[in-house]
Amino acid sequence: MSNKPKIFLLSFEIVPTADNQSKSIVESGYTICLVCSEYPEDAYRKAKFFVEKADWKIIKMNEDFPPFPIEVTEEALSENTENLRLYRSAQEKGIAIDYIVAAKEGTGIQKPTMLPHKPSYQFDLNNSLKRQKQLSDKGRCLHYENGEVCNEVINAHSIQKSQALSAIAENGHVYMPLGDINKGIIYKKRGIEKQASTFLGFCKKHDNQLFEPIDNLPLIPTEQQVFLYAYRSLCRELFVKQNAKDSIDFVIETTQANKAIKELNAGIKIGTEFSLKQLKIHKQHYDDSLKNKRYSDIQYTLFISKQKPNVVFSGLLLPDFDFSGRTLQDLGNHASNLELITMCFAPMNNDEWGFLLAWHKTSSKVCKEFMGSLATRISQSSNVGDLLFRLIISNCENIAFAPTWWDGLTEDARTHIKQRAESMVNMLTLVKSDYLMTGLEGIVNWEFTNVICN
């Protein structure tokens, strides 16, 4: 594997919008955009957004350049100092844009000029971070019998502390992904006591009572244990998604934004509200089963390993594509209800651990097709460890890595993990139908000795 990113070149013809601070002196212009991306269509989408975000209206692709994004190399641009600077800036920041403009008559500017530019939209980072912290510190018990008895909401671990996080921690710390507004996803050490994988989603009473069969006992597995692993993953995702909805509502209400930002925020709001609606539907299914102790409503496949664990995780997925690239359900069809699968690390007896995939019977149609495609790929000699690692890196942000293992990876491997994770959450990148088929090979070397299904 090589971690050298692809850089695409493209150019737009532009004119200033009414919000553009240079509209009084600029007649028109063009851009030189260098974009770090895996695919040219994603590079186009990203460049278009950033140009419009900077208060420019795109007229068309610049006819003096190729009519579509083309991949370029550092060597090809090395003879031009400015292009080389732009290339290296794109490598570091993901995108770099120069604006070359023609001034209006009477300004005294006689030739096309590179314009230093400050967009009208300025994101209030401090205010946003303050709001996010307020939301994450706002506890509520998600148990179906919540009420007056829930007088002490606790920082509950969505990944077990005693049997999972502690199994990979060093000096009480693990590596976890965190979002950074300038650097994308970064991986930092987090303490397993109060930071790693915790959320204020249950009161002390309900957390202790409900999850005792999995917090204090290794996975056997029983149907009750599997049900509780899946339920906790669902509740944690519901908690996070509700906070995300409140956060985007806050941004929309408090931010003065231009057309590009408003459209992006509106898209985020629609997607977040739809996802939240789906999670609430699934939680109702789980709550109904839990109230009546119908643990047999859960279905699962468990891959068992005897290796020392190096990654622990808990998350879920609304499967859109299977392991062969076939469409399972359309996440863009907001008139439909979507099916859901959970994925969890589960400690077991005899120094074994399990990769647990579980779903409620109401999600059987899609999930059985999803698991069937996994079985087909395994039967075709695909490496099961690569398949499962690709699944969680692509879909699970609630994940922790053993420090020695992470530090021992090559720079290439860490970069590929980061790039895959970022590509799945970037609003300007479309998820490719074959994303579960290739990528991240040979990084974990997981081996599984047994598989259990119910």
Q: Let me know how many helices (H) and strands (E) the chain has, helices first.
A: 11, 17
Query: Looking at the domain assignment, is residue 294 inside a domain?
Result: yes
Phi first, then psi, for residue 166 (nearest 5°) are -65, -25
139-142 long-range contacts, Cβ below 8 Å, gap at least 24?
A: 139/200, 139/201, 140/200, 140/201, 140/239, 141/201, 141/202, 141/203, 141/206, 142/201, 142/202, 142/235, 142/238, 142/239, 142/283
Same domain, 163 and 103: no
pLDDT, residue 435, reads: 97
Quick check: is 120 in a domain?
no
CA atoms within 13 A on the CB side of 90: 32
Domain count, the chain: 2
**Residue pLDDT tens, the chain, 454 long:** 455 679 999 999 999 999 898 888 899 999 999 999 989 999 999 999 999 999 999 999 999 999 999 999 999 998 899 899 999 999 888 899 999 998 887 776 666 666 666 666 666 656 666 766 676 667 899 999 998 778 889 888 899 888 899 999 999 999 999 987 777 899 999 999 877 888 999 999 999 999 999 999 999 999 999 999 999 999 999 999 999 999 999 888 888 888 899 999 999 999 999 999 999 999 999 999 999 999 999 999 999 999 999 999 999 999 999 999 999 999 999 999 999 999 999 999 999 999 999 999 999 999 999 999 999 999 999 999 999 999 999 999 999 999 999 999 999 999 999 989 999 998 888 899 999 999 999 999 999 999 999 9
User: Does 68 share its domain with 195?
Assistant: no
| Same domain flag for 90 and 227 | no
Please check whether residues 91 and 194 belong to one and the same domain: no
Q: Are residues 324 and 267 in the same domain?
A: yes
pLDDT at residue 193, rounded to an integer: 84
The candidate with the shortest Cα–Cα distance to 138, out of 48, 35, 224, 245, is 245
Domain range for 92 is 7-114
Answer yes or no: is 153 within a domain: yes
167 and 190 co-located in one domain = yes
Q: Do 224 and 288 share a domain, yes or no?
A: yes
Domain boundary among 114, 143, 159: 114
Listed in sequence order, the residues at least 6 apart from 168 whose beta carbon sits closer than 8 Å to its beta carbon are 174, 309, 310, 311, 312, 400, 401, 402, 405
User: Are 106 and 220 in the same domain?
Assistant: no
- Same domain for 84 and 174? no
Which run of H or E residues covers position 114?
A: strand 113-114
Tokens of 137: 């510190």
| 111's tokens | 């030739």
